[in-house]
Amino acid sequence: MKKRLFCAGILVSTLLFGNISHVKAATLSETIESNGKKAEVFTSSDANSTNGRKTSITASFIEDPNDSDLTALVSLKGFIPSNLSKTGDKYHGNMYWPSKYNIYVQSFDSNDKVKIIESIPTNKIETVQVNETIGYTIGGDVSASKDSASGGLNASYSVQRSISYEQPDFKTIQKLDNTKAVSWNVIFNSTKHGYDKNSYHLFYGNQLFMKSRLYNNGINNLTEDKDLSTLISGGFSPNMAVALKAPKGTKESQLILSYRTYHDLYRLNWTGTEWWGSNQENATPTYATHAYKIDWTNHKVTFLY
């Protein structure tokens, strides 16, 4: 039998200054019980937004006398703007678009003792909807599971964090998974018409974002925003989670989040009889890095920079 007792409320304050906003929440404490065993859970969150890029961390610190270590389940959310832009004239069209988002998470502590023992999402996911859960069971066990599209609580977990996001026309690939760092690439896959970055036609080239082969002015012949994936027209809202383990007595560590966005340049050129499309990859990303302090003693997360 599992019981939960809430001991404190949440207070939220917001500080706005220029292009930076900062949101902090007070720690929420909770007692959990399973099969006669009890543990304390302390949940804290913090967030920061700089130049349109947002990171948000919510950590549940688990003080379990039945576990030899400390555990924290950490949700990592945010927003990365697509910075889509279109230019052109009658005979040319250019579209600067995001073809890949990279999310990189690193755990750092001076004693090199804090470890990432689980992360979600796992492996490769090509479905539009991504749903997974990471959970803790009293005694110290941590595991991850796939969820149905409807989500919901997993009764086998004492504490859990669920993630859910949509990725139309994109796919998620976990590129790195070790005890100090994890990363994911969210990569453009193909349009609903089946065109990808390497599509090729003898007469029309790459028709990736070409509306018509024979008509329209250049800039007006690029796919309209309403017909693009939301990850291209608006941006991506990452929603990942990690489980951290630390020796009892650990005072603090850091989680460093890095967002990288890789843009391609899609071009349309009028040949005199038809449109020709081409796509050029850009290997240099735009990026943002935010660091958060994980205070194991006081059960708090705090934005650092």
Question: Quick check: 245 and 117 in contact, CB under 8 A?
Answer: yes
- The pLDDT, as a whole number, for residue 23 is 59
- Residues 113-155: tens digit of each pLDDT: 999 999 999 999 999 999 999 999 999 999 999 875 445 556 7
- DSSP letter for 236, please: E
Q: Tell me which residue range forms the domain holding 168.
A: 2-303
pTM: 0.89
**Rounded to an integer, what distance in angstroms lies between the CA atom of residue 199 and that of residue 158?**
48
Give the three-state DSSP class for 232. helix
233's enclosing H/E stretch is helix 230-233
- The pLDDT, as a whole number, for residue 22 is 60
Average pLDDT over residues 17-43: 78
Structural domain count, the chain: 1
Which of 17-21, 39-43, 164-168 is least confident?
Answer: 17-21
pLDDT band, very low/low/confident/very high, at 5 (cuts 50, 70, 90): very low
CATH number at residue 226: 2.70.240.10
Q: Return the percentage of the chain with pLDDT > 90, whole number.
A: 84
pLDDT band, very low/low/confident/very high, at 156 (cuts 50, 70, 90): confident
Please, what sign has the CA dihedral across residues 53, 14, 290, 58?
Answer: negative
**Rounded to an integer, what distance in angstroms lies between the CA atom of residue 52 and that of residue 4?**
37
- Residues 169-217: tens digit of each pLDDT: 999 999 999 999 999 999 999 999 999 999 999 999 999 999 999 999 9
- The pLDDT, as a whole number, for residue 146 is 84
Question: Quick check: 117 and 142 in contact, CB under 8 A?
Answer: yes
Q: What angle do CA 230, 195, 201 make, to 5 degrees?
A: 145
Q: Is the peptide bond before 81 cis (omega within 30 degrees of 0)?
A: no
**Rounded to an integer, what distance in angstroms lies between the CA atom of residue 287 and that of residue 36?**
48
Count the helix, strand and coil residues of the chain and give each as a percent rounded to the nearest 5.
5, 60, 35
Considering only residues 2 and 110, tell me which one the structure prediction assigns the higher pLDDT: 110
Average pLDDT over residues 284-300: 97
Q: Exposed, middle or buried, 187 (CB in 10 Å: 0-12/13-18/19+)?
A: middle
Rg of the chain over Cα atoms, rounded to whole angstroms, equals: 23
Q: Is the pLDDT of residue 253 over 60?
A: yes
Q: What angle do CA 177, 131, 301 make, to 5 degrees?
A: 60
- The pLDDT, as a whole number, for residue 150 is 47
**Rounded to an integer, what distance in angstroms lies between the CA atom of residue 169 and that of residue 149?**
18
**Rounded to an integer, what distance in angstroms lies between the CA atom of residue 264 and that of residue 297?**
45
Q: Is the pLDDT of residue 10 over 60?
A: no
Q: Return the percentage of the chain with pLDDT > 70, whole number.
A: 89
